[in-house]
Chain A
């Protein structure tokens, strides 16, 4: 049921506005311990989070573990959760922290195995590189995908903006950057996408000629 329902909810902008206030009402019910509101929250956000997670780190199991942990935490701490303006912002920010925690934990494990501890830089671990390669391969199977050709951070911000319609301030807070850099990063990302798409189109055209 999750798929079609979510699609339906995000279909019209009017529903988006309502979905926002509904989110807040849902959140309040979760805080009061309503388990049906909790399952509704899961149903509403699990796929959005999954999509974002998979672009962040192409590791299906790790992303699913993080979703599980995120919702388990919410329920277990429901009594201490504060009232929030944007449920979506809260979920994505917490989810991103969990993803980084899990990736680091995994990396530490591999580092110990290799008896090296030089993989402290977040963007440049061997494992990430491997996952990144998997991601590109997987996506190249789908026809001409510009997203595979842009940088990781550009991709992340596009996913947040395009699929989740978060505001620049929210995105900035999630990615720990300033709103101004969020603006810049998005326009860079889209600029790259357009260049890539044009060259891909040209490429397939040339292929067709040859």
Chain B
């Protein structure tokens, strides 16, 4: 079924017609293929009539292709849904901890944005969080994103008629994606060219320095990432963490709540080292931390702690690890 490497020198017309590589070259004129086939034709000038005949057959068969009209495609799908007892689509999680004035501010702000977009669409929208701040964003399709501190989210506001709902992330964010009736894919792109294509619903993306980390809570996603000029692709299952760093990926089973609890303003620790916590504090609060004794960084802790502001956070860290932390004007010294 797979032709690697095919022995084209001994191919007959028939062999060419049913060869997937040949077919793709004829039908799609892929530039990569083009080079290969032009070279091959030059090396085998006697095969030109053979190729020409195979080309004609390919084009003729392709012409006979039947396709469902988009309307029919959805109609049949709806009929299937009706047959299999309709199951509710995943709803965007609703968090009602927002106070009304803020909600109204957000609403009027988005109204202004919408009005603006009305005149000038599609527009790129950007959400940025400061140190110590998290933000909840509702996307044009009703999907929900919680943006962690010191992070940036970019997307084009109008996804109608696009191949995919595409969104760019720097920093860290938790996504709850709604499934669209027309199955329009949802794609998250990180700065290392990792793309996360969503079939499922809830996942966390961490993309800082030279690292992308995806944790899947429920549903299913496919990850594509660049490996040596090629593209790797894996399908993730719930409860998995995939880390992509220096052109390599690693997959492991994790307790997902450790990675996603920040969205509920809680930090779960499970033998988490002080070093990891300091990295997190630096990224999320933008604070400088220094220490006198490096050995202390290896200490670990388990349990959970609420997430507040920087001072509050460092205060709790000092209690958990039983260490003294001195606050010297936005610079913390661990003793």
Q: Which residues of A contact B (CB under 8 A)?
A: 1-5, 8, 11-14, 16-18, 22, 25-26, 29, 34-37, 39-40, 42-43, 46-47, 50-51, 54-55, 64, 67-68, 71-72, 75-76, 139, 142-148, 158, 161-163, 165-167, 170, 186-187, 190-191, 193-194, 197
Contact = CB atoms under 8 A, between A and B. Distances in A.
B264 interface: no
A194 B13 contact: yes
Interface stretch (B105-113, B146-154, B182-190, B308-316): B182-190
Nearest to B89: A35
A149 B56 CA distance: 15
Q: What does DSSP make chain A's interface, helix, strand, loop or mixed?
A: helix
Most chain A Cβ neighbours within 10 Å, of B77, B201, B219: B77
A71 B222 CA distance: 22
A139 B65 CA distance: 10
Interface stretch (B19-27, B37-45, B273-281, B326-334): B19-27
B156 interface: no
B63 A143 contact: yes
B125 interface: no
Interface of B: 1-3, 13-14, 17-18, 20-21, 23-24, 28, 30, 53, 56-58, 60-61, 63-68, 70, 72-73, 75-77, 79-80, 83-84, 87, 163, 179, 182-185, 199-201, 219-220, 222, 230-231, 233, 235, 237
Given A2-B73, A3-B67, A144-B60, 19 more contacts: A3-B70, A4-B163, A26-B235, A34-B199, A36-B219, A36-B220, A42-B80, A46-B73, A46-B76, A47-B73, A51-B65, A68-B76, A75-B84, A142-B64, A161-B18, A162-B58, A170-B1, A190-B13, A197-B60
A76 B20 contact: no
Contacts of A39: 77, 179, 183
Contacts of B80: 42, 68, 71-72, 75
